[in-house]
Amino acid sequence: MTDQDKRLYRLTMLDPNESSHGADLSEAIDFINSYSPDTAFEPCVHISDQRNVTRQDEAHSSHLQKEILSLAPKAADDYVLVPKTV
């Protein structure tokens, strides 16, 4: 077992005397080391084929404010009045 393996065991709180952990850890380290820094990977950003499915942002006038204010229990000017909370 190398010094690097011993440090990793200490980080993960594994028993360094148990042989099965050593084999698993060595296998994991070998797998990670098999990729060089210049190994090319395709970016995996989207799970599905759909990309940025959005609608156009179009400004339009809305008369909902008056309707909403008419449904509010209390309103003043252009605001809905609510009880004060602390």
Q: Residue 86 domain-assigned?
A: no
The pLDDT-based confidence of 66 (bands split at 50, 70, 90) is confident
Answer yes or no: is 77 within a domain: no
71 located within any domain: no
Helical spans, DSSP H, in the chain: 3-12, 19-33, 64-71
Work out how many domains the chain is built from and give that number.
1
Closest to 10 measured CA to CA, from 1, 31, 34, 30: 1
Q: What is the pTM of this model?
A: 0.28
41 falls within a domain: no
% of the chain with per-residue pLDDT over 70? 63
In a domain, 57, yes or no: no
Show Cβ contacts of residue 9 under 8 Å, excluding neighbours closer than 6 positions: 15, 16, 21, 25
pLDDT at 18: 62
Q: Does 27 fall in a domain? A: yes
Q: Is 64 helix (H, G, I), strand (E, B) or coil?
A: helix
Query: Domain residues for 12?
Result: 3-33
**pLDDT score, position 3:** 73
pLDDT in tens, 11-47: 555 565 666 667 777 888 888 877 767 767 676 666 6
